[in-house]
A and B are shown apart, each in its own frame.
Chain A
Amino acid sequence: MTTSVDTQVVPPTAPRDAGEALPPVPGTQIDEAPQLTAAQRRRRGRGVDQSSPVVKIAGYIALAITVAVIMVPLYFIVITSLKTRPDIYSDPITWWPNPFNPQNYSYVMTTLEFDLYLRNSVIITGILTVVKVTLGVLSAYAFAFIKFPLRNFLFVLVIAALMVPNQITIISNYSLIAQLGWRNTFIGIIVPLAGVAFGTFLMRNHFLSLPKEIMEAAEMDGSSFFRTLFKVVLPMSWPTVIAFTLITVVGEWNEYLWPFLVADTSATAPLPIGLTLLQDVEGLTNWGPVMAGTVLATLPMLVIFLILQKRMIKGLTAGAVKG
């Protein structure tokens, strides 16, 4: 037989790459410089910055307006929280507190028990986030990778739960919690809020988008159910898990209606309720402490967002399958 099919002799260690490029064969290449048309010259000039000054200025103006619309009210919240009462009402308005009055903060913290509201918020948000993320990841893992009867039906139920507005279930929840005597307790605030339809939905869809072959490789490698979750699935899922965590933290921190119904003392009520109470007490005349309370309620979320956003953006599946 002399075809190429069955008699190809192969050196076992052929060179892996060909090394540096050699000069071209003499006579095959042209020595002159290549043509450069007007269009090519124009495109080349654009390498870094291709817009005209007019477009650029217009862009900056639009950007400035957008920023102003968002930032000016925020700026006023912050400076108002540092102003004395006469300063707040001065006409024309002042853009800088004079004199500085940080006492607003100590006033809300001590006299108005904001330290307690802050503590309650941290407890409620912390517990709810841990519970929701855990339940969300575990239930999604089950929905994605375990075959059990009625799986799809149950998943449709989960999605249906997403469609029902919270406000609809609130009356029955309230009567149940009141009967159990859970008003003004952490457990009464937390338990009805701990359902995780959204997280299950988000995480399950993410898990299903992971390369199937990696799950199969883990199965062939004899990895146990939970080891696969922690060693293989979660490490590829951090961006989604972190996004889910962030959404949960912000959502629970700002949760208003339900805590407002079941808690009305500084023993258990979270910050948004404290703010309402604060406004009731001081609101119509004394804006300084109200604004200080607002800043205190907002600041932790800003910090958490700044910490987590970088990790959220980083993709982690790079290199899993051929690339």
Chain B
Amino acid sequence: MATVEFRQASRIYDPKVRPAVNRVNLSIEDGEFLVLVGPSGCGKSTTLRMLAGLEPIDEGGVYIDGEDVSERRARARDVAMVFQSYALYPNMTARQNISFALENVKMPKHDIAERVEEAARMLELGELLDKKPGAMSGGQRQRVAMGRAIVRHPKVFCMDEPLSNLDAKLRVSTRAQIAALQRNLGVTTVYVTHDQTEAMTMGDRVCVLKDGILQQVDTPKELYENPGNTFVAEFIGSPSITLMDGVSIVDGRAVLGENHAIDLGIPRELAENARGPRVIAGVRPEAWEILGVGAKPSEPATVPLRVELVEHLGSEAFAYCSPIMTADSPVTIRQRRVTVRADKRRELQPEDVIHVRPRLGESVFFDEATQINLAYL
């Protein structure tokens, strides 16, 4: 049980290029499940390995339970790691793999046996215990790797994409198992993934990294509904949010379309935070309301879109559309692409023209210059 803190921690492989991890500040509470996400190469693994002690900390510090462990070797930090490749010892059976760390601290034999039994029960290792890793499936190896971490009763678990080698279905069930196990054990856990669903479902809080810089740490719900900047907004959520540059603020209202007819429902305090006449507005796929299909709008104050591609997911569908803009519109849409969630009962075809409007109060707004959410300014 422990708290973890990164204080201005950096990892600089090469002073000539930007640091792989750049002045990260992050506090993790006792027993918390923190997920690190970000695009490939953003420094997730490096951050995790700095905590585990496998990567030196070139600037700043890492604290476990308030103690500076920056210069402490990995073995002395009381941190356990589950590797993406599992890194089981191939010459040892599952039992030997799991008890290896305990033997290294010269724990009495019967205590070791007890701990191994306990771990085996929790992870349903059963008859796997006397098999070698070479004779196990990927999912079984993954469980043995988990067992190797939990028998030590460490202060902190570090997991680097432990599910990425499993097939989709096994990943779903193992995801739930790991989350439940962590809640039972109550061990502070840092979990790296690039899987959106894992991040949103497993973490108490999610930390988004980009180019080694921490973007935002918050609960999954907050990240989704109130992303701190446009990067987080685009990164979290799938399909991703539609960002519109150049939305005007008129009389304290964020407006869109001809004659400023469409009101996005910006709260008064946010409108006051805006530094210029224009802001960036973000609309999630489910925040668009489809008001009509066909050449002529059935209602006033709608945005016309041309459907380019429809993705049917069974219970719902996503329409990827290009906006039909008036020539003098100040608004530009990033990627020139608007994603709209459609109920499965509404049949959409490519080349259809649909008329949509953002639901009042479901949009997020960002400052044009800094790209930061107006709510955080």
Contact A213 B87 (CB under 8 A): yes
- Grouping DSSP codes into helix (H, G, I), strand (E, B) and loop, the A interface class, with mixed when no group exceeds half, is loop
Q: Is A1 an interface residue (CB 8 A)?
A: yes
Q: Is A36 an interface residue (CB 8 A)?
A: no
Which residues of the partner chain B approach A232 to less than 8 Å between Cβ atoms? 89, 91
Contact A213 B101 (CB under 8 A): no
Which residues of the partner chain A approach B237 to less than 8 Å between Cβ atoms? 3, 5
Contact B180 A12 (CB under 8 A): yes
Which residues of the partner chain A approach B81 to less than 8 Å between Cβ atoms? 216-217, 220
Q: Is A157 an interface residue (CB 8 A)?
A: no
Q: Which of the segments A44-52, A181-189, A239-247, A315-323 contacts the partner chain?
A: A315-323
Q: Is B185 an interface residue (CB 8 A)?
A: no
Complex Cα distance, B201 from A6, in Å, reads: 6
User: Which residue of chain A is the closest to B49 with respect to CB atoms?
Assistant: A216
Q: How many residues of B contact A (CB 8 A)?
A: 59
Q: Which of B213-261 contact A (CB under 8 A)?
A: 220-221, 224-225, 236-238
What is the CB-to-nearest-CB distance from A215 to chain B, in angstroms, rounded to a whole number? 9
Contact B224 A1 (CB under 8 A): yes
Contact with A along B302-319 (1 / 0, CB 8 A): 000000000001001000
Complex Cα distance, B162 from A321, in Å, reads: 12
Contact A319 B90, CB 8 Å, known A10-B175, A11-B173, A227-B104: yes
Q: Is A128 an interface residue (CB 8 A)?
A: no
Complex Cα distance, B85 from A217, in Å, reads: 11
Q: Is B132 an interface residue (CB 8 A)?
A: yes
A10-B176, A12-B173, A320-B87 known, 4 other contacts, Cβ within 8 Å: A2-B286, A6-B220, A214-B87, A219-B54
Q: Which residues of A contact B (CB under 8 A)?
A: 1-6, 8, 10-14, 16, 211, 213-214, 216-224, 227, 231-232, 235-236, 316-323
Can you list 15 A-B pairs with a CB-CB distance of less than 8 A?
A: A6-B220, A10-B172, A213-B85, A216-B54, A217-B148, A219-B73, A219-B74, A221-B101, A222-B104, A223-B100, A235-B89, A317-B90, A319-B132, A319-B136, A321-B86
Please name the 10 residue pairs, one residue from A and one from B, whose CB atoms are nearest each other, closest first. A319-B134, A235-B91, A321-B85, A14-B173, A213-B87, A221-B101, A320-B90, A319-B133, A222-B75, A10-B176
